[in-house]
Structure 1
Amino acid sequence: MGSSHISPEMALIRHLRARGFTIQEGRKPGDYVVTAHDDNELDLRPRLSLPGDLVVEYLETMNRTLGATPPGVDALPLVEVHLEEELSTAGADGRNHATAVGVRRGVDGRAEWFARHADLEDFWRRGGPSEDLEWRANPPK
C-alpha cells in the first residue's frame, strides 16, 4: 500500500471522528473504545474492533460477493454507514446500547461483521445512565 493511502482501518476511524465520535486506542492494534459522540459521554463505552487484516479481508469479500454491494460501490463507505448507525442509533429510551461493533473472525474462519448491544434490563439494574447527562435535540445536518 502506498504512503499516500491510509489503511481501511484508519479510514474508518477518521470517518467516525469526522462525525463527532471520540475514539481512544485500545490495548492491542485494531481495538478502540468509543467514549463520546458530539461531546456527550457514552455510558457503555462501546468497543470498536477493527483489526487491519480482518477489515481488509472483510472488505475484499464484500467487494467480491455478488449483491453484497450495489454495482460500482466500494464496500468501505457501506461499512462506514454501518459503524455510524450502530454507534449512534438510539433505543426506545433515547440512548445507544452498542457495547461492541466491528469485524472479527467467525466460527467458519471468515472475517465477519458483528454488533453487540446491552441488555436493557441489565443496564437499568446497574443504575441506568449517569445522573449528569442532559437531553439535547440536535437538528439534522
Structure 2
Amino acid sequence: MATDQPSPEVALVRYLRAQGFTVEAGDRPGSYRVTAHRDAPMPRRPRLSLPDDLLTEYLNELDRTPGAAPGLSALSLTEVHLEEALAAGVDGQNQTTAVGVRRTPQGAVEWFWHREAEPGPPGGEVPQADLVWRADRPR
C-alpha cells in the first residue's frame, strides 16, 4: 500500500462520516461506536470493529478470491457492506448492534454483523406458517 494512502480503517471511518454517520473512537484501536445518522440518534449505538491489521488481512483475502467483489475493489465492497449494516431498518430503527471484522477460533478473518431481532408485526399477531397461497378465484 502506498504511504500517501490512508489505512483501510481510516478510509472506512472517513467514508461513513461522509455518508452522514457520527462515528466515535472507542477504547482500543480499531474500535468505534456509531451514535447517529444524519443527526438522528442511533439508540443501539452499533459497535464497529475495524482493527487495521485484521481489516487489511480481510481485504487482501477478498482481493485474492475470484468473483468476490465483481467490479468493485475490496475496500469499496466493504464500504457497501458497512453502509448496509448501519442504514435504517424496520420503522427507521436500525437493528445492528455490532459489525466489522474479527478472527475466528480457527484463525481465519471474517466479516460479522450482529443484529437484534426485528420487532414482530403490530398488535403482536404472528402469521401462521401453514398458510398457502392459491391462484384460484374464490367461488
Partner SS for 1:43? coil
- Give the fraction of aligned pairs with identical amino acids, expressed as a percent: 53
101-110 or 16-25: which moved more? Answer: 101-110
112-121 or 55-64: which moved more? Answer: 112-121
- Output the CA distance in 2 between the equivalents of 1:96 and 1:31: 19
Moved over 6 A (4+): none
Counterpart residue number, 1:127: none
Counterpart residue number, 2:132: none
Counterpart residue number, 1:22: 22
- Output the CA distance in 2 between the equivalents of 1:108 and 1:80: 26
Gapped runs of 5+ residues in structure 2? Answer: 120-139
Partner SS for 2:89? coil
In the superposition, the TM-score normalised over structure 1's length comes to: 0.80
Q: How far apart are residue 2 of structure 1 and its match?
A: 4.2
Gapped runs of 5+ residues in structure 1? Answer: 122-141
Does 2:69 align with 1:76?
no
45-54 or 99-108: which moved more? Answer: 99-108
1:9-55, Cα deviation, whole Å (9 max, x unpaired): 10000000000000000010000000000000000000000000000
In angstroms, what is the RMSD of aligned CA positions?
1.4
Residue correspondences, number? 119
- Output the CA distance in 1 between the equivalents of 2:101 and 2:28: 15
Partner SS for 1:11? helix
- Amino acid in structure 1 at the alignment position of 2:66: L
Counterpart residue number, 1:36: 36
In the superposition, the TM-score normalised over structure 2's length comes to: 0.81
Larger Rg: 2
Counterpart residue number, 1:64: 64
Counterpart residue number, 2:52: 52
Counterpart residue number, 1:9: 9
Question: Mapping of 1:85-96 within 5 angstroms?
Answer: 85-91=84-90, 93-96=91-94
